[in-house]
């Protein structure tokens, strides 16, 4: 049995997703990760691999997570394809019956939502095309010559070129939304359609089943009286009161049909020439009555434009008072988490941003001059025959904060010659199945607080606890809380649902850098 999943459920899913971000029970975060992508794949930057959607790979993506930024209701909107108005372009017009057998003539699409029937102008106003100059002589329409700029509620021609276009104004994109949600290929639609005065005027002006356009596909012959205009010609169907004006040319053919009363309640319609006192033609014309979307043009912007996608926005920038995002190193993976938990908690994370890495506060002679090679290994003997390994993310010579991360490649028993990691800084990596050993301020018998790696050996500052430190009469915020020189992530990075993953060529972050992350979700 044949069946389809309609575009309408995709629109609904996108709408429900946007609404879900706004609820108090949900928490969404954008994340950055993977500071050493070329260790995974040597040509990563020129050929990033496609993410793999399975639980094993997802755990790997969790491993290398660096930091997260919360996405609020103000950071998500439904979006639609972006088509800038250009003079000389022939656009499709809105039809209710586009299909694979009745295709939009100019876009090459197979349905309404694959047609190029709406545009955004140079002032970021959005219009839907109701007539594109289609006549029997120009069945595909004409090039558009007049840019629509008006904000009238009723459709009209935008200029004096005579290109035959009729546009309907829908909405204007707000400047703040342009920053967050505008892209090369997509543009935002307003949230909560009709809630503000301008959108409400468009929405309230819509008439359910009100006819706006009748297309002349065939002019017919022997129609009425030559050079005659017939008014109040009824449009018959399941609606009420729609009427049009029919102009007959010098050849006794239909010259034009203009709707004079849109009526209401139509899901189909036909122009009744006889009821309009037009005698039976020799050859009947073909007149297509165009049915508006449910509710009328402007009633439901999401259905009218096919808003099947959503865009989530996050800005990654440095913050002296909460420095969760690394500088000086790179990242090559971005994604979205749904409802992650706070570290060592069953509570949903609510922080605006959070660190996803471990950190150590180091002390000792030369801590302010020691250097660590990014992505190199550091180690600590935490007990007899047991060594912790980690990859360097960053080191701050001022504060002595070393950030590191661990994944499955540093998991193992560090006894020389055993299966797993050796005690050297060039370990034979275990692939899986061994314990990950954390760095600690409280080593067991045979261990110590010395960190081996970099240009000098330092120790963990076991006397330091807190979120900030005072040095030379200045307060430095560390971004995460330390206890006896050791800091855990602020997020349980293995919690929550990873609903989006994207691999990119690596981006190296600097101290004055900002990244605008725009993630498009297709439903």
Residue pLDDT, tens place only, 65-96:
999 999 999 999 999 999 999 999 999 999 99
* C-beta separation of 419 from 412 below 8 A: yes
Instruction: List the pLDDT tens digit at each of the 523 positions of the chain.
Output: 678 889 999 999 999 999 999 887 889 999 999 988 888 889 999 999 999 999 988 988 998 899 999 999 999 999 999 999 999 999 999 999 999 999 999 998 999 999 999 999 999 999 999 999 999 999 999 999 999 999 999 999 999 999 999 999 999 999 999 999 999 999 999 999 999 999 999 999 999 999 999 999 999 999 989 999 999 999 999 999 999 999 999 999 999 999 999 999 999 999 999 999 999 899 999 999 999 999 999 999 999 999 999 999 999 888 777 788 888 889 999 999 999 999 999 999 999 999 999 999 999 888 999 999 888 889 899 988 888 888 899 999 999 999 998 877 665 544 333 333 333 444 444 333 346 789 999 999 999 999 998 888 899 999 999 999 998 899 999 999 999 999 999 999 899 999 999 999 999 887 778 889 999 999 9
Please give the pLDDT value at position 60: 87
Distance CA 167, CA 144 (A): 11
**Distance in angstroms (rounded) separating the CA atoms of residues 340 and 351:** 11
| Beta-strand runs (E) in 249-329 | 254-261, 269-271, 286-290, 309-317
Burial of 243 (0-12, 13-18, 19+ CB in 10 A): middle
- Kindly report, as residue ranges, where domains of CATH 2.60.340.10 are found in the chain: 7-76+311-354+493-522
Among residues 11, 17, 5, 6, the alpha carbon closest in space to that of 499 is found at 17
CB 88 within 8 Å of CB 143: yes
d(C-alpha 151, C-alpha 170), whole Å: 8
**DSSP conformational letter for 121:** -
Could you tell me the two tokens for 294?
Answer: 């449910």
What's the pLDDT at 429? 41
Residue whose structure tokens are 């080191």? 395
> Which pLDDT belongs to residue 410?
64
First to last CA, the chain: 24
Predicted local distance difference test score (pLDDT) of residue 513: 81
C-beta separation of 371 from 50 below 8 A: no
* Fold assignment, 7-76+311-354+493-522: baseplate structural protein gp8, domain 1 (2.60.340)
pLDDT value of residue 431: 37
Confidence (pLDDT) at 411 = 57
């Amino acid at each position: 049995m044949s069946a389809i999943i309609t575009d309408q459920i995709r629109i609904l899913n996108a709408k429900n997703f946007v609404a879900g971000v706004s609820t108090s029970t949900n928490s969404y975060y954008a994340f950055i990760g993977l500071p050493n992508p070329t260790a995974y794949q040597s040509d990563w930057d020129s050929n990033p691999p496609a993410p793999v959607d399975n639980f094993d790979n997802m755990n790997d993506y969790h491993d290398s997570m660096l930091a997260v930024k919360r996405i609020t209701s103000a950071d998500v909107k439904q979006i639609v394809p972006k088509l800038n108005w250009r003079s000389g372009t022939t656009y499709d017009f809105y039809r209710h019956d586009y299909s694979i057998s009745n295709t939009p003539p100019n876009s090459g699409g197979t349905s309404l939502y694959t047609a190029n029937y709406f545009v955004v102008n140079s002032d970021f106003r959005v219009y839907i095309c109701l007539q594109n100059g289609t006549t029997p002589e120009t069945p595909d329409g004409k090039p558009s010559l007049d840019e629509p700029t008006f904000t009238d509620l009723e459709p009209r021609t935008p200029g004096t070129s005579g290109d035959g276009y009729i546009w309907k104004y829908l909405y204007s994109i707000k400047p703040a939304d342009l920053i967050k949600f505008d892209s090369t290929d997509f543009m935002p639609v307003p949230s909560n359609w009709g809630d503000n005065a301008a959108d409400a005027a468009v929405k309230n002006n819509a008439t359910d089943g009100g006819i706006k356009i009748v297309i002349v596909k065939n002019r017919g012959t022997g129609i009425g009286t030559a050079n005659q205009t017939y008014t109040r010609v009824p449009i018959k169907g399941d609606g009420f009161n729609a009427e049009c004006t029919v102009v007959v040319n010098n050849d006794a053919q239909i010259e034009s049909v203009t709707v004079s009363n849109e009526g209401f309640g139509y899901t189909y319609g036909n122009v009744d020439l006889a009821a309009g006192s037009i005698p039976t033609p020799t050859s009947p014309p073909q007149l297509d009555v165009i049915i508006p979307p449910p509710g009328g043009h402007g009633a439901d912007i999401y259905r009218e434009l096919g808003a099947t996608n959503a865009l989530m926005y996050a800005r990654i920038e440095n913050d002296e008072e909460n420095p969760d995002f690394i500088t000086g190193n790179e990242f090559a993976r971005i994604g979205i988490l749904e409802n992650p938990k706070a570290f060592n908690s069953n509570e949903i994370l609510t922080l605006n941003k959070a660190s996803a890495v471990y950190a150590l506060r180091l002390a000792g002679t030369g801590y302010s001059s020691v250097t660590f090679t990014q992505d190199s290994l550091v180690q600590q003997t935490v007990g007899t025959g047991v060594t912790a390994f980690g990859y360097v993310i960053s080191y701050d010579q001022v504060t002595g904060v070393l950030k590191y991360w661990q994944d499955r490649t540093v998991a193992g028993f560090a006894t020389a010659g055993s299966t797993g990691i050796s005690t050297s800084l060039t370990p034979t990596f275990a692939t899986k199945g061994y314990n990950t050993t954390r760095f600690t301020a409280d080593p067991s018998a045979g261990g110590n607080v010395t960190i081996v790696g970099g240009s000098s050996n330092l120790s963990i500052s076991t006397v330091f606890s807190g979120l900030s430190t005072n040095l030379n009469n200045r307060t430095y915020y560390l971004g995460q809380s330390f206890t006896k020189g050791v800091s855990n992530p602020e997020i349980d990075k293995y919690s929550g649902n990873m609903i989006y993953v994207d691999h990119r060529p690596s981006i190296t972050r600097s101290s004055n850098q900002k990244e605008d992350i725009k993630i498009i979700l297709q439903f």
